[in-house]
Amino acid sequence: MKYSVKDKKTIKELFSKSNKEVDDVYGQYYDEIVTGEKYERKNPISFERSNILYENCDFLNLDFSNLKFDNVFFVNCRFTSCNFIESKITYGSMLVFSECKIYRTKFDHCDLAESWFLNCFMLIVQLIDINLSHSVFAYCGFKNVVLTGKCNISGSRIFKSNTWFSLGFTDHRSIICDEQTEVDGFDYTVKRKDFMHNYVFSRTGKVDVSESVAETYNNFATLFKYNNYPSKFGELFYSSKLELHKSLKGFEKLKSFVKLITCGYGEKPQYGIYSALVYIILNSFIYMSGIKWNGELIRYNWSFSSEGYSLTSDKIVDFMKCAYFSVTTYTTVGYGDSIPVGLLSRFTSVTEMLFGVVLTTVVTGSLLRKMFR
């Protein structure tokens, strides 16, 4: 899905998601458009003008030093080997990058609070001591993007990223974030057809994108951990494990699946309760093949005939008795009023007792860890 800064309806939707009023920030619109220009060291650019839109422009080996951006919009532009140094946004104005390709570029000691990056792709980008508080990165791709030094991303939103999601920090302790900082969602369906997309995938080979997404989620989880936001840490840690699960194969994927359904990787202990209920119900059907209830034998020979699957009141009552036996076996209570009969029921009861002890321990441990954290 493509977003253009010229599409006011789309901008309104994005602003509404960040609790901003469109008219407050979009009241001053650009009154000049520069199209198809190429700027390089021998043909530098001047930002003395405000309320201007650059469309389909190329910026090559340029230094944007000590600049003040006053309602400057870049639409479908390409930045290659550029440096933004000690530049900032004029108070009350906007800086928007829409559908831009930013390649081998450095942002150093810039104040770009409340800037907008819409449907952009960043490749090998350094963000050094930069203020990106309350900025929005919507539908963007990131490949080898690194935040270094004292960066501020408080209140920033990174959502619906696509193509690639490789974003990290050199020192998590030096990055400032808060509870409003959001990292949400990756769209695997978007495929970019440009030189950057080809560059990325020609050098990454068969590396699964989900591994990169998982690593980035884990980076942000660690960031929230060091900034003392345990709930945000838990959410992103869980997301990182889900993404990593997609790239696993064979036995490793099976182990990951077991961790998911038993405790949600330690972050969703309720998953263990759901799994236990399903397991108890399934075993209740198995126990209908043979248990003794207060001396009364309950045994069904399930057949493929219509009579074998007919539902009667007696079967419902027997199923409830088997469910009772399954619960007491799972919880290892064992009142002694019912016992398994036959090899299948006995084997099932043994495995259910073992599974019940292990799963109860896992769920309790996950719950206590979340409470104390």
pLDDT(172) > 80: yes
What is the average pLDDT across 170-178?
Answer: 93
Averaged over 147-170, what is the pLDDT?
Answer: 92
pLDDT for residue 18 is more than 50: no
Mean pLDDT of the residues in the chain: 84
Residue in this structure with the two tokens 């000590």, named with its chain if needed: 66
pLDDT value of position 307: 55
**At 192, is the pLDDT very low, low, confident or very high (cuts 50, 70, 90)?**
low
CA 156 from chain centre, in angstroms, equals 15
Which token pair is 304? 């493929």
Task: Classify strands 291-293 and 338-340 as parallel, antiparallel or unpaired.
Answer: antiparallel
Burial label, 339 (beta-carbon count in 10 A; 0-12, 13-18, 19+):
middle
Model pLDDT, residue 368: 84
Task: Please enumerate in sequence order all residues whose Cβ is within 8 A of that of 24, keeping only pairs 6 or more positions apart, or say none.
Answer: none
By DSSP bridging, strand 141-148 and strand 121-128 are parallel
Q: Work out the average pLDDT over 49-63.
A: 87
Q: What are phi and psi of 206, to 5 degrees?
A: -95, 15
The percentage of the chain sitting over the pLDDT mark of 70, rounded to a whole number, equals 82
Q: What are the boundaries of each domain within the chain?
A: 8-247, 270-372
How would residue 208 be classed by pLDDT, with cut points 50, 70 and 90?
low
CATH number of this structure's domain 270-372, picked from the four choices 3.40.640.10, 3.40.50.300, 1.10.287.70, 3.40.1160.10: 1.10.287.70
The 10s digit of each residue's pLDDT in 85-105 is: 999 998 888 899 999 999 999
Predicted confidence (pLDDT) at residue 19 exceeds the cutoff of 60: no
Does residue 164 surpass a pLDDT of 60?
yes
Which residue reads 């209830």 in tokens?
A: 293
Encoded tokens for 243: 């993404």
Residue 352: which of 335, 336, 330, 323 has the closest Cα?
A: 330
Interval 298-303 mean pLDDT: 76
Confidence of residue 252 (pLDDT cuts 50, 70, 90): very high
- Asked if the model's pLDDT at residue 22 lies above 50, the reply is no
- Identify which has the larger pLDDT, 352 or 10: 352
Q: 240 or 19: which carries more pLDDT confidence?
A: 240
- 36, with CB counted inside 10 A (0-12, 13-18, 19+), is exposed
According to DSSP, residue 90 is labeled P
**DSSP-assigned letter for residue 298:** E
Rounded average pLDDT over 109-135:
94
| Angstrom distance (rounded) from CA 247 to CA 338 | 46
pLDDT at 3 over 70: no
pLDDT at 352 over 70: yes
Beta bridge partners of 52: 32, 72
Q: How confident is the model at residue 308 (pLDDT cuts 50, 70, 90)?
A: low
Q: Is the pLDDT score of 373 beyond 80?
A: no
pTM of the model: 0.79
**Which sign, positive or negative, has the C-alpha torsion 19, 21, 24, 30?**
positive
The pLDDT, as a whole number, for residue 20 is 44
CA atoms within 13 A on the CB side of 92: 4
Confidence of residue 131 (pLDDT cuts 50, 70, 90): very high
